[in-house]
Amino acid sequence: MLAVWHTAVQYHFWHALGLLAVGLSGFYFQEIWLKAAGWLFVVGVVLFSGSLYALALGAPRWLGAVTPLGGLAFILGWLAFAGAVIFSRTPG
């Protein structure tokens, strides 16, 4: 279970940095995709890391079925972030 906890922490850390990058990018890019990326990262952290944290702390095994949905949110978040940067219109 320590390995599961480690995976949750690692993904939580990297996507918290990604969320910080999304927030800072808001000063330069005005895109709906940027807002979507931020929300998808939050959903991903809650579903992916949250379910792994819960499993490591002894939650029922069926909760592991939620983890891939968080992974999907992470992937969609990175795609939305890339789209926001590629198709951006800078302010002013």
pLDDT tens digits, residue range 23-74?
Answer: 999 888 878 999 999 999 999 999 999 999 999 999 999 999 999 999 999 9
- 10 in a structural domain: yes
Confidence band, pLDDT 50/70/90 cuts, at residue 92: low
Q: Which domain holds residue 73?
A: 2-86
Q: Give dist(CA 16, CA 21) in Å, integer.
A: 9
In a domain, 91, yes or no: no
Give how many domains the chain has, as a whole number. Answer: 1
Residue 83, C-beta contacts closer than 8 angstroms, at least 6 positions apart: 31, 33
Residue 31 lies in a domain: yes
Is 92 within a domain?
A: no
In a domain, 65, yes or no: yes
Query: What was the pLDDT predicted at 28?
Result: 84
